[in-house]
Amino acid sequence: MPPNEPLETYHEKRQFQRTPEPYGEKEPTKDRPIYVIQKHDASHLHYDFRLEWGGVLKSWAVPKGPSTTPRTMRLAMLTEDHPIDYANFEGAIPEGNYGAGTVMVWDIGTYRNLRAEKQDHHESMEQSFNEGKIEVWLEGKKLKGGYALIRTKGMGGGGDDTRKWLLVKMKDEYAGKLADPEKTEPDSALTGRSLEQINRDAEEAAHASVAGKPAR
Ligand code: MN
């Protein structure tokens, strides 16, 4: 059943007294919409690929992370919409909570909707999403250039799962520039921290607040 209001599923999955994740209050950005990839060391390490439109961050979990090699397809599972504030969230989600584990802002920037720029098409992000074909130009700190998201439903062997998409690097001057960015640039694009450092900082902050000192 589709949610009745934006972020309903996001709010249902979380208890905000028990997780440092944002509830979501930020207004849509005025200029270029946000693009962000969060590295999430949960039960399985994965990369959450998010694009801002319609007042939320549309989100896909990419188990292997994005490829910079053209035509290399990476499975991207559609997940619940996240609040815009989530784009800057780094921290540790405590055990027992949904998505427990460490979250890092692995790459952040803005994007352009390439299908809106095409002659005779001018597809909005919403239209592209409904058609199961999104094409964006990323302006991230790590990733740049064209990426396509393609829904597999209706494709041979794709099955009925409408959550199943593929993330594909498009062919352009940025293709192949970073050979293996998950390995060569593992740390935060926002704070330079590693997953271990984010975890340590979260633990220190928790201990400080228990000891009566204000958390950082
Ligand atoms: Mn995740």
| pLDDT, tens only, 122-135 | 899 999 999 999 99
Residue 105 Cα to ligand 1 midpoint, Å, equals 12
Residue 41 Cα to ligand 1 midpoint, Å, equals 8
Question: Which amino acid would we find at residue 56?
Answer: V
Residue 51 Cα to ligand 1 midpoint, Å, equals 14
Residue 117: phi and psi, rounded to 5, are: -90, -10
12: pLDDT strictly greater than 50: yes
Mean pLDDT of 86-91: 97
Sorting pLDDT into bands at 50, 70 and 90, what band is 65?
A: very high
Residue 79 Cα to ligand 1 midpoint, Å, equals 8
Residue 46 Cα to ligand 1 midpoint, Å, equals 6
Residue 211 Cα to ligand 1 midpoint, Å, equals 31
Q: What pLDDT was estimated at residue 4?
A: 61
DSSP the chain: ---SSTTHHHHHT--TTT--S----PPPPSSSPEEEEEEEESSSEEEEEEEEETTEEEEEEETT----SBT-EEEEEEEEEE-GGGGG--EEEPTTSTT-EEEEEEEEEEEEEHHHHSTTT---HHHHHHHTEEEEEEEESS-EEEEEEEE-TTSTT--S-TTEEEEEEPSSTTTTSSS-HHHHS-S-TTT---HHHHHHHHHHHHHHHHTTSPP-
Residue 119 Cα to ligand 1 midpoint, Å, equals 36
Residue 103 Cα to ligand 1 midpoint, Å, equals 8
160: pLDDT strictly greater than 70: no
Q: Is the pTM of this model over 0.85?
A: yes
Mean pLDDT of 149-158: 74
- Share the mean pLDDT of the chain: 90
Domain boundaries, the chain: 33-210
Q: What pLDDT was estimated at residue 213?
A: 55
2: pLDDT strictly greater than 60: no
Q: What pLDDT was estimated at residue 1?
A: 44
24: pLDDT strictly greater than 60: yes
62: pLDDT strictly greater than 80: yes
Placement of tokens 């199961």 in the chain: 132
Q: What pLDDT was estimated at residue 167?
A: 97
Among the ranges 20-24, 29-33, 47-51, which has the highest mean pLDDT value?
47-51
Sorting pLDDT into bands at 50, 70 and 90, what band is 136?
A: very high
Q: What pLDDT was estimated at residue 157?
A: 53
Residue 142 Cα to ligand 1 midpoint, Å, equals 19
Cβ proximity of 143 and 151 under 8 Å? no
Mean pLDDT of 6-26: 93
Residue 88 Cα to ligand 1 midpoint, Å, equals 14
Q: What pLDDT was estimated at residue 204?
A: 92
